[in-house]
Amino acid sequence: MTVAARRAVGIVLTLGLFVAAVTVVTAPAVGASGSTEATAAAVKPYPGFEKAYRSSFPIPKKVGGKTYTIGCQNPVGQGNETTTTFCKGVQAEASALGMKYIGLDDGLSIDKQVSNFNQLLARGANAIALYPLAPNALRASLAKAKRQGVAVIGFNVTFTKSAKAPGYDAQIWEGRDAEAYLSVAEMARVAPRGKVVIVGIGAPVPAIKYLAQRYRFWAKKFGLQVIGEQDNPTDDIPGGRQAMSGLLGKYSDIDGVLAYNDESAVGSYTAARSAGRNDIKIIGINGSSLGTSALDAGHVAAIIQVDAVNQGAQAAAGAYNVLTKQGGKLPLVVVMRPKLLTKDNLKSATSWAQQLAKIKGGSLTR
């Protein structure tokens, strides 16, 4: 074989055989695992302390005259659908109220969040909506905003029974306790008295650590046995898979998984199915397109969908109330009610995209 011929063989093999490797082995197809069951009885409404709070600021009326500007800081960035939807909600509602909108990404960086906040102040924003990554880091900037008369609405600044958030005009909770309750109540329905594991977050995020505590609290009430907990170290699907792999190796009798987000739920599913455990019920939180597609495919038993659009819309509405002095003093906190999505109600549930379209049509808060 000549040199040129051998070189050509090398090139062809390199590109061709990598592709061919995929097709070397195929096997008969199997159907998707049917991990979702028909909803026999509805889960009772959430009975906990968050129920005492209002679910909406006073609905503002659009006022003519001055045009206000609102900024929304996405704590993560475009890669996180849930937090991106918060800001889309702010933008849609702001647009419906005739406000200008500025969107900035904090990229999970505390420094960048402070710098973006100060940038919004410098650009003359009249209101700012943000999900604080480290509340204390913003103290000086919040004081500056107060001096400039800028309305500041926070997402999930606190999440326990304390609703006070110094420096903020008001805050919006996504209902962490209700999320835990709905997850556990549905788990108790699909896996009564079952043995469950928790997939939590590896990073030191107090709200998610609190969620794990509430899972345990409600599990006790519903007669579920929490046999183990493992963190998702990377907050993504591979991390969820890694956490679940450890749990599957340690416990052979897992009936259900309570996962703090959609990525962890999907990662848990891939690990469980790889281990031949198609029977494990998995419930995640967020309700992004990843979670709802997993629910639709039967990979998870349920998803607790956060009301991400309304969180954003309420932030814009609350800020507009403050700026136009409507509706009196804002309540310290409003709580958005998360929804339980199962395969039964998935088709009839309003998606985030549909909610956004409603706001643009002016029909959500007015």
Residues interacting with another protein, by CB under 8 A? 3, 6-7, 9-11, 13-15, 17-32, 78-81, 84, 202, 228, 230-234, 236-238, 241-243, 245-250, 252, 263, 266, 269-271, 273-276, 288-290, 293-294, 296-297, 299
- Residue placing its CB nearer to another protein in the complex, 151 or 302: 302
Q: Are strands 170-173 and 151-155 parallel, antiparallel or unpaired?
A: parallel
- Residue placing its CB nearer to another protein in the complex, 47 or 249: 249
DSSP per residue, 250-289: H-S---EEEESSHHHHHHHHHHHHHTT-TT-EEEEEE--H
Euclidean distance between CA atoms 139 and 242, whole angstroms: 37
- Residue placing its CB nearer to another protein in the complex, 55 or 344: 344
Rounded to the nearest whole angstrom, what is the least distance from the CB of residue 95 to another protein in the complex? Answer: 18
- Residue placing its CB nearer to another protein in the complex, 54 or 250: 250
- Residue placing its CB nearer to another protein in the complex, 30 or 40: 30
Euclidean distance between CA atoms 73 and 76, whole angstroms: 9
Rounded to the nearest whole angstrom, what is the least distance from the CB of residue 266 to another protein in the complex? Answer: 5
Residue 171, amino acid:
Q
Where in the chain does DSSP place strands (E)? Answer: 69-74, 100-105, 127-130, 151-155, 170-173, 195-201, 225-232, 256-259, 281-286, 302-305, 333-335, 339-341
Residue 200 β-bridge partners: 231
Rounded to the nearest whole angstrom, what is the least distance from the CB of residue 9 to another protein in the complex? Answer: 6
Q: Which residues contact 308 (CB under 8 A, 6 or more apart)?
A: 82, 83, 85, 86, 89, 174, 286, 287, 352
Rounded to the nearest whole angstrom, what is the least distance from the CB of residue 220 to another protein in the complex? Answer: 21
Residue 233 tokens, joined: 């170290």
Euclidean distance between CA atoms 52 and 38, whole angstroms: 31
Residue 204 burial (C-beta neighbours within 10 Å; 0-12, 13-18, 19+): exposed
Rounded to the nearest whole angstrom, what is the least distance from the CB of residue 115 to another protein in the complex? Answer: 20
- Residue placing its CB nearer to another protein in the complex, 248 or 317: 248
Residue 208, amino acid:
I
- Residue placing its CB nearer to another protein in the complex, 190 or 248: 248
Rounded to the nearest whole angstrom, what is the least distance from the CB of residue 228 to another protein in the complex? Answer: 7
Euclidean distance between CA atoms 290 and 171, whole angstroms: 27
Rounded to the nearest whole angstrom, what is the least distance from the CB of residue 90 to another protein in the complex? Answer: 16
Rounded to the nearest whole angstrom, what is the least distance from the CB of residue 345 to another protein in the complex? Answer: 18
- Residue placing its CB nearer to another protein in the complex, 12 or 140: 12
Q: Are strands 339-341 and 302-305 parallel, antiparallel or unpaired?
A: antiparallel
Q: What are phi and psi of 184, to 5 degrees?
A: -70, -40
Rounded to the nearest whole angstrom, what is the least distance from the CB of residue 302 to another protein in the complex? Answer: 17
Euclidean distance between CA atoms 117 and 115, whole angstroms: 5
- Residue placing its CB nearer to another protein in the complex, 63 or 357: 357
Residue 274, amino acid:
S
